[in-house]
Structure 1
Amino acid sequence: MKIIIAPDSFKGSISASNAAQAIERGIKRYMPHAQTILVPVADGGEGTLDCLIAAAGGVKLSATVTGPLGAPVTAAYGLLEPDQTAVIEMATASGLYLIPSEERNPLLATTYGTGELIRHALNAGCRSFLLALGGSATNDGGAGMLQALGMRLLDSEGNSVGYGGGTLDRIASIDDSNWDPRIAESRFLIASDVQNPFIGPDGASRVFGPQKGASPEMVEQLELNLTAWADIIAIKTGKRVHQLPGAGAAGGISGAFLAFFPASIKRGIDIVIEYSHLRDHLQAADLVITGEGQIDFQTASGKTPMGIAQEAHKLGVPTICLAGSVGRGIEALYEVGITSVHSIVTGPMTLQEAMSRASELLELTAEQVVRTFHASAQKD
């Protein structure tokens, strides 16, 4: 039996790679001779860098950059084989996890470090970039990233406005005389499943601001500031990112990339599928096991397990999904490629216990799932 193991990470609990290994152990406990192929995946957020290096080969490099609140942090990027595409994982430079919960403030947080990470890769000779934008602490519309790459954002008196989402309403003009010319020679692909626009009810501030520590009052200020920044972007570039689908990803940094860079967006899971050669692995497969921390009605809108299941469904391969939490509305998933959904929680336990035991619980559930699937296949 050939089984493809392709989970995402279980956020805050276990990485995609470790989850895949745990599932494999469960399978092998019942079927030691099963052919298992591990394809840990991500959707363009945290963990994408490691998944792509594992899939395509390459090296992981580090650089000291400015963290979201100004302190230096050690960030990472990857160089993929064979074309030396640089994978920039924004969270390592400007991520929410870098800030203690009580200090999170998107009015102050900046994407400057992400710009420094891009500059580091440019200095290394990279001209092809893959941008993984998930997990950011910021809501500055990419302003800090632009500043790190040579753009000066000036107030009405010609002074620099400073950094963070709280400064955007003071920007009166842009001086791009020191803009890094290598950007025009490069290409940038944004790996993102987010379709939210820059501003509005579904925009960056109102949807994602509260997750980054913004109070209701902060959210309104951030919305006003991003609107003012979008107006300045339109004046400078002729591009209106205000309602552009996807421009609201990662606090609006996606909008800055789309306005100022030779950039395009592609669904994160599709990029990972291509690099991992999942379609080739699915040939003659008997079963796919995927999963992530929570499965519910939102999974059908393009989250990682759905992308995996859609590819498997094209070839008639059943997909079983494992989850830490199974929410409402999963019935819709059965119509679009997922065969069944299973919670890995085996009995009453706290969230903390479930998260700390994720590896063990994945192993146990994978064994039970494969036992059932194998028995059904033999009967048929």
Structure 2
Amino acid sequence: MKIVCAPDSFKGSVTAAEAAAAMADGAAEVFGGAEIHQLPFADGGEGTLEALLSVWEQQAEEVEVVDAIGRKTTARYGVSPDGRTAIIEAAEANGLPQVSDVELQPLRADTYGVGLIAQHVLQTPEVEEILLCIGGSATTDGGTGILRALGVQFQDESGEQVAPGGEGLGEIAQITLDNLNPRATEVRWKIAVDVDNPLTGPRGAAAVFGPQKGAGEAEIETLDAGLGALAEALAATTGADAEDYRKAEGYGAAGGLPVSLVSLLGAEVLPGSAMVAETVGLAETLADADLVFTGEGRLDSQSLGGKVVDAVASRSPENATVVVIAGAVQLSPAETRAAGISAAFSIAPGAATLSELQENSAELIQHTAAQVCGALKAAGLH
């Protein structure tokens, strides 16, 4: 019998690796002789770095960078065992938590620190691919900070460098690539996104995500206009159509971060769960599985839109039993079955507060997995 445990993290409780281990321990209590695989998973957002490091059995590397407003900080990144693939979680440098101690600065905040991580990674000649996960950002600079750290110059009409962050985007008249780190165009870039918002407009980066980064109405207008101007400048540099940059799905993620990397570095934008699935070999691990456990903190309608649970369920063998274990289950049995999920169970043993569930999550996940396996064994699954 083959069992695969491929959960997301339970936010605020356990990492994906800890959840996978708990599910495996619960399954082993009942199916002791089974072939049990632990595959911590993520959707390209928070926790993806830790999940991949766990799968790769690698330790995080650390580098001195700056946060979204230029203060010195330390960021982590990871490299695969063969040294060919690096993973950067952008929020390690430009994330909202890093600047939560001060008033948000939506016009000033930039991605330069993320570029410093990339610059460091590119010093390793073995690296052929960079996986960039971009959720949780405090920035709306169209990725220009990353490119500045890699040597690109964004200049105004007089040839002077424009101000960093979103406030300088509208002044860009010329983009100079003479000093771009040549390794930046030699490696493959894959950018994980979990939204389909375009760069500009009412569903764009500034309008939709600007408020959570501290932008008021006037600042949103400035940022949106600036991102539009950036699209024009990038198009003039590459010979592309600026409208394509403004309207492409996903380019509005993380303050428009993808647009500069796609246009100047040839980056590929991918749904985060698909990128992680390919990287960890999810389909290969799931092949011939009899029982598949997955899960997350809360199973709801968003879980079925390309998130971890959806990615695992859609790639599981047709005859496999797919079980979701979650902190809370907010889908009906009919909804779960329609999504290819056999059943979903909450870890709550009864009335409990969120803090109580979080404190005992690993034990509760293990107990729930064991209960599920007990029922399946009694029903004839061996």
Q: TM-score by structure 1 length?
A: 0.90
Over 3 Å counting, the alpha-carbon distance change for 1:283 and 1:187 in structure 2 is closer
- Residue of structure 1 equivalent to 2:24: 24
Over 3 Å counting, the alpha-carbon distance change for 1:183 and 1:195 in structure 2 is same
Q: Which runs of 5+ in 1 are unaligned?
A: none
- Residue of structure 2 equivalent to 1:133: 134
- Residue of structure 2 equivalent to 1:122: 122
Offset from partner CA, 1:107-155 (integer Å, 9 cap, x none):
2221001111111111122342222222222211101111111122223
Offset from partner CA, 1:5-52 (integer Å, 9 cap, x none):
100112232211111122223333444444321000111122222322
Residue of 288, 295, 302 corresponding to 1:291:
295
Offset from partner CA, 1:46-78 (integer Å, 9 cap, x none):
222232233345553211111112111111222
Counterpart-to-counterpart distance in 1, 2:332 and 2:212: 23
Counterpart-to-counterpart distance in 1, 2:207 and 2:337: 31
- Residue of structure 1 equivalent to 2:323: 320
The answer to whether the 8 A contact 2:60-2:76 is kept is yes
The answer to whether the 8 A contact 1:6-1:40 is kept is yes
Over 3 Å counting, the alpha-carbon distance change for 1:223 and 1:181 in structure 2 is same
Over 3 Å counting, the alpha-carbon distance change for 1:236 and 1:275 in structure 2 is closer
- Residue of structure 2 equivalent to 1:10: 10
Q: What is the letter of the counterpart of residue 142 of structure 2?
A: G
Q: List aligned pairs for 1:177-256, cutoff 5 A.
A: 177-239=178-240, 240=242, 241-256=245-260
The answer to whether the 8 A contact 1:300-1:333 is kept is no
Q: Secondary structure at the match of 2:246?
A: coil
- Residue of structure 1 equivalent to 2:279: 275
The answer to whether the 8 A contact 1:297-1:333 is kept is no
Q: Secondary structure at the match of 1:40?
A: coil
Q: Secondary structure at the match of 2:60?
A: strand
The answer to whether the 8 A contact 1:197-1:204 is kept is yes
Q: List aligned pairs for 1:109-188, cutoff 5 A.
A: 109-125=109-125, 126-188=127-189
Root mean square deviation of aligned Cα: 2.5
Counterpart-to-counterpart distance in 2, 1:217 and 1:181: 38
1:65 aligns with 2:68: no
Over 3 Å counting, the alpha-carbon distance change for 1:340 and 1:174 in structure 2 is same
Q: Which moved more, 1:203-212 or 1:50-59?
A: 50-59
Q: List aligned pairs for 1:317-356, cutoff 5 A.
A: 317-327=320-330, 331-356=334-359
Q: What is the letter of the counterpart of residue 316 of structure 1?
A: N
Q: What is the letter of the counterpart of residue 77 of structure 1?
A: Y
Q: Which runs of 5+ in 2 are unaligned?
A: none
Counterpart-to-counterpart distance in 2, 1:329 and 1:200: 36
Of all paired residues, the percent bearing the same amino acid is 39
Q: What is the letter of the counterpart of residue 67 of structure 2?
A: G
Q: How many residues align?
A: 378
Q: Secondary structure at the match of 2:288?
A: coil
Over 3 Å counting, the alpha-carbon distance change for 1:219 and 1:294 in structure 2 is farther
Q: Secondary structure at the match of 2:379?
A: helix
